[in-house]
Chain A
Amino acid sequence: MLELTGVCLRFGGLQVLQDVSLRVPKGAIYGLIGPNGAGKTTLFNLITGLLQPDAGDIRFEQTSLLGRRPHQIARTGLARTFQNIRLFKDMTLLQNVVVGAHRHLGYGVLPMLLGTRGFRHQEADAHRQAHELLQWMKLDHKTHELSDNLSYGEQRRLELARALASQPSLLLLDEPAAGMNTGERAELMRWIGEIRARGYTILMIEHDMHFVMGLCDHITVLNFGKVIASGAPAEIQRNPDVIEAYLGRDDEEGAP
């Protein structure tokens, strides 16, 4: 479904990503892990068109995303959440989620001005879907409040609902569990499982190992912009390079 081949990116003299390749199959929950600064979020920014790679190709359902602008990529069925939550703060929860449905509202100017049946029908559908998503994310009691007033965990859930409202075929989650407590994490894991069961494909950045190992079918590990391992969760846990990247090397000779 999503295929990256030999993606490279430099920021000035800094090689941020070096020859990164990965393939996310349809229906998977795919994990992207690595220490801070490994280039994970940068990779998301490349996929969603906020940055352009210096070399390599990014293909989504067989078509290249290179040179396309973010809104064009979003319209092909790709949605994401952000590590540092980016909600529309002075809009209500409901409005936030309805904005997510933007690409599915196809009425023209005249039907909008006249308020025709087609227009009202599409708007009603988008609002009904938004209500459902808010209910699913247990936010329906705050439907008409401003999203700025939400707690951290609630904001993450609202971002998820907004991303789902665009009915994406691929959902990119950037540290969805960050800042959540144990109970919220367990609930989020259940939700992500349900989202997959509804037929979505998920590519996820996450630091919480328990979370990643419990959910993902396949994991790619990035360190200093390079793929150092890729495989099933059990293989990744045993991989010496990964253990070294996370825990440092057991370097007895170097000790005084």
Chain B
Amino acid sequence: MDSLITFWAIYSNVILSLGINALLALSIWLTLACGVLSIANAAFMGIGAYAAALFTMKLGTPFLVSLAAGMLFPALAALVIGLPVIRLSGIYLAMATLAFGEVIRVLILNTPTLTGGARGLNGIPQLTEWWHVFLALAIVLAVLWRMRRARIGRAFDAIRSDETAASLMGINVSAHELLALVLGAAIAGLAGALDAHLTFFIGPNEYGFSRAVHILTMAILGGITSLVGPVVGSTIITLLPELFSEFIDFSLIINGVVLVVIVLFLPQGVWDPARFARWRRQGGQRHA
């Protein structure tokens, strides 16, 4: 028992990061699943973190209400920027969402009376229990799993494959893309809200460009063809710095290298059911 307590004392941070990062990877998976490259999820996480923390600290709302606020505000922000931006395609949409992320960061920097500005928000009550994180992850996974097996999940896949053909099957492409963006923002916001109530302190630079790339790397590394992919990817990316803790200063470089290697050699990600099926077939043929 003592050893378990020691283990938890040392590794609780890592274990909780596993959950938070899995939520973040799933949040960007939603947009990637319908072929939309939006990199605003770090900003959505920030909006969620600030909204939830401010609700708790300034309004004294119960934790559950703060979490709801942490999902609602980024979802509304996603709706507002999504309406004009979703018509853009590919790299233009990526640029617009990246710019939005910077706008949010600068906005937080310049409203010190509300958000603490560059000095960040201090003294957030630590309300998040470890099981809150994993319950949230379980609920998000269950909802997304249901969606994948229904017409909405198939519509996402179809849009990613061929937008024109999807629209001619009666699928409202822009409405589905907008929905993916808004739901993704809500999940990123939930991760931010839970994280804010773990860490006591949040600052605007935590939700900048490097976090955006970090989130994207987790999803791409894991693979976007199933729900397992983002969870596997976020687990690897979270544990990697622990394994190479003496190289902690180079963690951003390592993440970058991982992203390049994956895109070059495993474009479908680590977790790719289609590749597993090919392996099984080839293995079967060898035995036959």
Contacts and interface: CB of A to CB of B under 8 A. Distances in A.
- A is bound by B: yes
Interface of A: 48, 50, 69-71, 74-75, 79-80, 82, 86-91, 95, 98-100, 102-103, 105, 107, 112-113, 115, 119, 123, 146, 162, 166
B151 A102 contact: yes
Among B143, B170, B225, find the residue whose CB has the most chain A CB atoms closer than 10 A: B170
B161 A71 contact: no
B89 interface: no
B166 interface: yes
B137 interface: no
22 contacts: A50-B168, A69-B167, A70-B167, A79-B169, A80-B168, A87-B161, A87-B165, A88-B162, A89-B161, A90-B157, A90-B161, A95-B157, A99-B155, A99-B171, A102-B151, A102-B170, A105-B151, A112-B146, A113-B143, A113-B146, A115-B146, A123-B149
B274 interface: yes
Contacts of B160: 90
B152 to A, nearest CB: 7
A99 B154 contact: yes
Nearest to B172: A71
B170 A75 contact: yes
Nearest to A70: B167
Interface residues of B, number: 26
Nearest to A165: B169
B152 A99 contact: no
A70 B169 CA distance: 9
B170 A166 contact: yes
Contact of A79 (B166, B168, B172): B168
B33 to A, nearest CB: 11
A103 to B, nearest CB: 4
- 8 closest Cβ pairs, A-B complex: A88-B161, A103-B170, A74-B170, A86-B165, A70-B167, A105-B151, A75-B170, A112-B150
B157 A91 contact: yes
A95 B169 CA distance: 13
